[in-house]
Amino acid sequence: MPIYTPPTRDMAFLLHDLMQVETSDIPGYDELDPAFTSAVLAEAGKLAAEVLQPLNAVGDREGCTLENGVVRTPAGFKDAFDQLREGGWTGLDCDPEFGGQGMPHLLGSATGEMFVAANMAFNMYQGLTHGAYSAIFAHGTEAQKAKWLPRLVTCEWTGTMNLTEPHSGTDLGLMRTKAEPQDDGSYKITGTKIFISAGDHDMADNIVHLVLAKIPGGPEGVKGISLFIVPKIMVDDDGKLGAANAVSVGALEHKMGIHGNATCVMNYDGATGYLLGEKHKGMRAMFTMMNEARLGVGVQGLGIAEVAYQNAVAYARERLQGRAVTGAENPDGPADPLIVHPDIRRSLMRQKSFVEGARALTFWAAQLIDRAQRMGDDDAEGMVSLLIPVIKGVQTDRGFDVTVEAQQVFGGHGYIEDNGMSQFARDARIAMIYEGANGIQALDLVGRKLAQDGGKHVMAFFDMVKDFIKDNEGNEDLKAGFLEPLKSASKDLQAAAMYFMQSAAKRPNDALAGAYDFMHLFGHVAIGLMWARMARAAMDKLAAGPDDAAFYETKIATGRYYMAREIPATAMLRARIESGADPVMALDAAAF
């Protein structure tokens, strides 16, 4: 069975050595002293490693079943969900007014990473619920909030998001689901939604579906979409459960991975729904939750990469095969462990440097969300909006790559299902697709976020890189290994952005054809900045002569690897982008 050790030491480094959260001016952060965060992270880690992780393979093997309209989750899921609930984890960063614990989103992201790493399919049940909570919290009336939120916070009821229809995925304007107004102010919802994660199951008393639909007579396309609350079971004004609503599960999808999550075809046959937010403003309501939701998927890329990496390391230490070229390192054994081999090291360093860099980037984004939500800081909101498509796209692309590389360390033993490495790759694959496929993230970045507020946020990002380099230019330890590669990478990013700006009016396809590479280029600079900051923080700690010097030395060496071997990709990505759209668009559609 795969192992999982919660990366709480690394999280503590980020929170306290790098970000020094307890001294932040964000309301609530003053409570985040090391003793408190370590207690929370340790508890979450324990639940993840001891309860959720052992169920991961079970979920994959058994999957969910649909019989007579009833969906059942794999053995053990219900008990584990009860433990998650009882520990208060489902409402960790929810509003205390509705029963939440009011913790920062930052802490929710940290615990979320561990839950995902331990059991991604399982954690989606609470993840979707959190999304529904956020939507109702942001757009519900006081009565709606009072009615629905408390039991979403506790996960007594879980939530779903219903966007996709068979012919309508990325292009939601094509949606056909109808919402017909009723005399009592409610709506009758009719239509079919597909790919509905956690669409039905046996772990909660009710399911609160958030459904996008069109009110007849409204505007065409995405401007005519409204958002509705559609419960599985009707709830009266006292909160008591009543009759079943006209909602049913048409089928369970058979998927490449996340078998433990019930991905449903949902049929709404005149089901009763309640408008959430304004009429025809459903897309806007979805967008306000998007940063959180997409960060959550970026966390999936990170979390599953972490657990895959941990298992690759364990296998590389234990599997004896071949001898180090520089002389036997296990002379008394029949062979040396895999980890002596430079090509295995290459793979492990690639994995490790991604995971730790992505975690730093995730924590930064979560902190920006807290700053935006708790302080109404528009600059933080703008910066995180810029970073989110990068985090979602890059962390899920590279997160999947890491699972594949970790699987490769196992050789043939990674291809058979017994060791769990295949499941990591199969599960990780979905994160590149849902919550906006990564191509859409790239378009969001280049088509929307770059120019947002007059390009203010991307300029602020560039300034941040420039300032860091300037502030540290006297630091000889950082200079060659960190500052110079970062500077060069940032120059590539700026040049690419400039290229897009110059061709935007005349040749819009240039930016669209280069968007995907730009997203990854941005990711390298963002993760590179994280590594430079982490190296600086580690050097500062080392100067103080800490007990665990090895931890900080490892941190710096891992960063050096990233700067030497990963960040040089920026020049290639820039070259691709600057080749323009012509090589990409040259063929007639018929010529493929």
Q: How far is the CB of 14 from a copy of itself (least distance, A)?
A: 18
Residues 330-359 that bind a copy of itself (CB under 8 A): 334-335, 337, 339-349, 352
- 579, with CB counted inside 10 A (0-12, 13-18, 19+), is middle
C-alpha dihedral, 559 to 362 to 488 to 459, nearest 10°: -150
Contacts of residue 511, defined as CB under 8 A and 6 or more positions apart, other chains included, come to 446, 447, 500, 503, 504, 518
Piece of 70-78, 124-132, 460-468, 509-517 that binds a copy of itself (CB under 8 A): 509-517
Residues 85-144 that bind a copy of itself (CB under 8 A): none
Residues 277-306 that bind a copy of itself (CB under 8 A): none
Q: Does 504 bind a copy of itself (CB under 8 A)?
A: no
Contacts of residue 405, defined as CB under 8 A and 6 or more positions apart, other chains included, come to 312, 347, 350, 351
How is residue 309 written in tokens?
A: 């990496």
Give whichever of 72 and 560 is closer to a copy of itself, judged by the CB atom.
560
Residues 237-256 that bind a copy of itself (CB under 8 A): 253-256
Distance separating alpha carbons of residues 14 and 369, to the nearest angstrom? 17
Give whichever of 544 and 550 is closer to a copy of itself, judged by the CB atom.
550
Q: What are phi and psi of 256, to 5 degrees?
A: -60, -35
Distance separating alpha carbons of residues 285 and 445, to the nearest angstrom? 20
Q: Which of 194, 361, 458, 486 binds a copy of itself (CB under 8 A)?
A: 194
435, 473, 476, 553: the active-site residue: 435
How is residue 45 written in tokens?
A: 């880690």
Give whichever of 33 and 62 is closer to a copy of itself, judged by the CB atom.
62
- Mark 62-100 as b/e (b = at least 16 C-beta within 10 Å): bbbebeeeebbbbebbeebbeebbeebbbbbbbeeebbb
Q: Which of 515, 527, 532, 534 binds a copy of itself (CB under 8 A)?
A: 515
Residues 397-416 that bind a copy of itself (CB under 8 A): 400, 404, 407-408, 411-416
Contact 329, 320 (CB under 8 A): no
Give whichever of 87 and 173 is closer to a copy of itself, judged by the CB atom.
173
CA-based Rg of the chain, rounded to a whole angstrom?
24
Active site residue 306: no
Give whichever of 378 and 582 is closer to a copy of itself, judged by the CB atom.
582
Q: How far is the CB of 252 from a copy of itself (least distance, A)?
A: 10
Residue type, 293: A
Q: How far is the CB of 477 from a copy of itself (least distance, A)?
A: 14
Q: How far is the CB of 459 from a copy of itself (least distance, A)?
A: 25
Residues 201-240 that bind a copy of itself (CB under 8 A): none
Residues 312-331 that bind a copy of itself (CB under 8 A): 313, 316-317, 320-322, 325-326
Q: How far is the CB of 57 from a copy of itself (least distance, A)?
A: 12
Q: How far is the CB of 441 from a copy of itself (least distance, A)?
A: 10
Give whichever of 374 and 479 is closer to a copy of itself, judged by the CB atom.
479
Contact 545, 577 (CB under 8 A): no
Give whichever of 269 and 582 is closer to a copy of itself, judged by the CB atom.
582
Contact 159, 185 (CB under 8 A): no
Q: Positive or negative, the Cα torsion across 461, 463, 466, 471?
A: negative
- Quote the Cα angle for 518-350-498, to 5°: 15
Q: How far is the CB of 295 from a copy of itself (least distance, A)?
A: 20
Q: Which of 30, 82, 269, 417 binds a copy of itself (CB under 8 A)?
A: 417
How is residue 398 written in tokens?
A: 């590279």
Give whichever of 32 and 211 is closer to a copy of itself, judged by the CB atom.
211
Q: Positive or negative, the Cα torsion across 575, 403, 18, 22?
A: positive
Contact 529, 485 (CB under 8 A): no
Per-residue H/E/C for 151-176: HHHCCCEEEEEECCECCECCCHHHCC
The distance from CA 353 to its chain's CA centroid, rounded to whole angstroms, is 18
Q: How far is the CB of 186 from a copy of itself (least distance, A)?
A: 29
Piece of 149-157, 371-379, 383-391, 420-428 that binds a copy of itself (CB under 8 A): 420-428
DSSP H/E element including 131:
helix 120-139
Q: How far is the CB of 436 from a copy of itself (least distance, A)?
A: 10
Residues 27-86 that bind a copy of itself (CB under 8 A): none
Residue type, 410: F
Q: Which of 137, 500, 516, 552 binds a copy of itself (CB under 8 A)?
A: 516
The distance from CA 166 to its chain's CA centroid, rounded to whole angstroms, is 25
Contact 80, 122 (CB under 8 A): yes
Give whichever of 73 and 438 is closer to a copy of itself, judged by the CB atom.
438
Piece of 91-99, 417-425, 470-478, 528-536 that binds a copy of itself (CB under 8 A): 417-425
Give whichever of 292 and 517 is closer to a copy of itself, judged by the CB atom.
517
How many residues at the interface with a copy of itself, by CB under 8 A?
96
Residues 424-453 that bind a copy of itself (CB under 8 A): 425-426, 429-430, 432-434, 437-439, 442-443
Site map for a copy of itself, 150-189, x if CB under 8 A? --------------x--xxxxx-xx---------------
Residues 542-561 that bind a copy of itself (CB under 8 A): 550, 554, 557-558, 560-561
Residue type, 555: K
How is residue 491 written in tokens?
A: 């120059």
Q: How far is the CB of 184 from a copy of itself (least distance, A)?
A: 33
How is residue 475 written in tokens?
A: 């630091």
Distance separating alpha carbons of residues 140 and 399, to the nearest angstrom? 35
Q: How far is the CB of 400 from a copy of itself (least distance, A)?
A: 8
Instruction: Point out the residues that are catalytic.
Output: 435
